[in-house]
Amino acid sequence: MSALLLLAACAEPAAPPSATSPPPRPAALAPGLAPDTVEVSGVGVATARVEPVGAGRVDGTVQLRQTEGGVRVQADLRGLSQSDFHAFQILRGRDCGADPDVHLGAEAGRHGGPYALPGDRHAGDLGNVRGDRGRGRYDRIDPALNLDGTGSPVGRAVVVRAERDDAVSDGTGGAVVGCGVLVPQ
Q: In the chain, which ranges are E strands?
A: 45-52, 59-67, 70-78, 85-90, 125-130, 135-142, 157-161, 176-181, 183-184
**What's the pLDDT score for residue 119?**
77
Q: φ and ψ at 41, to 5 degrees?
A: -150, 150
pLDDT value at position 109? 73
Q: Which CATH superfamily is domain 45-184 in?
A: Superoxide dismutase, copper/zinc binding domain (2.60.40.200)
Per-residue pLDDT tens digits of the chain, which is 185 residues long: 444 334 444 444 444 444 444 433 334 444 444 556 678 989 999 999 999 999 999 999 999 999 999 999 999 999 998 878 999 999 999 999 999 988 898 877 778 888 887 678 888 999 999 999 899 999 999 999 999 998 899 999 999 999 999 888 766 789 999 999 999 99
Provide the 8-state DSSP code for 51. E
Please check whether residue 110 is in contact with residue 120, taking contact to mean a CB–CB distance below 8 angstroms: yes
pLDDT at 4: 39
The whole-angstrom separation of Cα 161 and Cα 119 is 24
How much is the pLDDT for 136? 96
